[in-house]
A = this chain, B = another copy of it.
């Protein structure tokens, strides 16, 4: 029915490969269909100046897209000399999502930076980034527990994200690029495994939408993230065994 043949409430095939970035304290390459994001978490024993001496840590994120991750080559942000508004919006979103599930007091004066770089793009890159970033963060923080820096994991919850949208096929889960570019509205949901809402961003791309439509999208998002939480958990368990 959908251009990809997927059911209304079906995710694309999800694959997460931990450890892709050799030097990072934690990393994960996440693939959702044709979208591929490399998430690498860096631990540093210092905090931004506004937090110095406050006995708490910080989690931040940066986002980038390789110039040819897309159908047409985009200009390299480093060459252009600045990050687009879209890039900044996305990296602020990823960082907020991660901070919502980290106990910054328990982290102590440590900062974690998660770099999310899109190697291939086919829609949903910001959601894939959040889902992969949680895995990278989780693995990196585990190291701090294993080497005795922290007594326990400073993680309060498990976070994942998915996009839903109103297309010609009605409300659907996990839009690919083709669907995303023609949807009349789309929404990104950042949810936690215990049912909490971390962030909702719903946008009418063409015409305003109704509250009923919005609620349908939220139902779909619950379905999708439930599956993502299962995959994250399995990958982390496997990686920690290794």
Q: Are A115 and B78 in contact (CB under 8 A)?
A: no
> A79 contacts which of B83, B198, B203 (Cβ < 8 Å)?
B83
Which of A51-59, A208-216, A228-236 is found at the contact surface with chain B? A208-216
**Which residues from 76 to 129 on chain A have a C-beta closer than 8 Å to any C-beta of chain B?**
76-89, 91-92, 96, 100, 113, 115, 117, 119-122
Copies in the complex: 6
> A78 contacts which of B42, B44, B64 (Cβ < 8 Å)?
B64
Q: How far is the CB of A157 from chain B (nearest CB, A)?
A: 7
Q: Are B214 and A196 in contact (CB under 8 A)?
A: no
**In the assembled complex, A150 has its CB within 8 A of some CB on chain B:** no
The main secondary structure of chain A at its interface with chain B is: mixed
Query: Chain A interface residue count: which class?
Result: 35 or more
Query: Interface on A for B, CB 8 Å cutoff?
Result: 20-24, 27, 34, 38, 40, 42, 44, 62, 64, 66-71, 73, 76-89, 91-92, 96, 100, 113, 115, 117, 119-122, 157, 187, 191-192, 194-204, 206-211, 214, 218
